Amino acid sequence: MQTLRDAIRTIPDYPKPGIQFRDISTLLGNPRAFRRAVDELVQPYAGARIAKVAGIEARGFILGGAIAHQLSCGFVPIRKKGKLPHQTVSIAYALEYGTDEMEIHVDAVEKGEKVILVDDLIATGGTASAAVRLLQKLGAEVVAACFVIDLPELGGAAKIEALGVPVRTLVAFEGH
């Protein structure tokens, strides 16, 4: 069987020279690899009474929806500011050059609900850390942050773990 690593396309020098972009669209297009990734992300949490899976826009929506389905729980979108139609709570976070904001509906999670955060990749951890803080601000118990890909030398997983949230990743790529 093809490994998950083999199902991920690497695009050199995107979005700028020196970056090795890890593209999961090839994994998503491969039914066996997609199923395996979802199954491996779900497995530790089966039977854990997870209330919601929160996915970070946009690839986290794809993975998170599939994981929520498998866990028979709800799905919560975390989006860039201005994209959600109802009352929201937002958080600003640092980018390489400047800041951005993400938001969640104020009624997306209830205090004490067990939530898993999902996205395709953890790099520097800025976006994922902000998402964890946003969920915690609403009172969620963030049980884990799950990613298909880890870029360990960028330290993002350690930032999430410093917030008291365990990190689960399936594939690590050295270099970025």
How many CB atoms sit inside 10 A of residue 86's CB? Answer: 8
What is the rounded CA–CA span in Å between residue 112 and residue 72?
18
Residue tagged 């199902």 (tokens): 7
- Contacts of residue 3, defined as CB under 8 A and 6 or more positions apart, other chains included, come to none
HEC assignment per residue over 57-126: CCHHHHHHHHHHHHHCCEEEEEEECCCCCCCEEEEEEEECCEEEEEEEECCCCCCCCEEEEEEEEECCCH
| 59 given a catalytic annotation | yes
Closest Cα partner for 44 from 128, 166, 149?
Answer: 166
User: Which residue out of 36, 59, 79, 168 is catalytically annotated?
Assistant: 59
Closest Cα partner for 68 from 84, 51, 56?
Answer: 51
How many CB atoms sit inside 10 A of residue 125's CB? Answer: 23
| Residues with active-site annotation | 59, 96
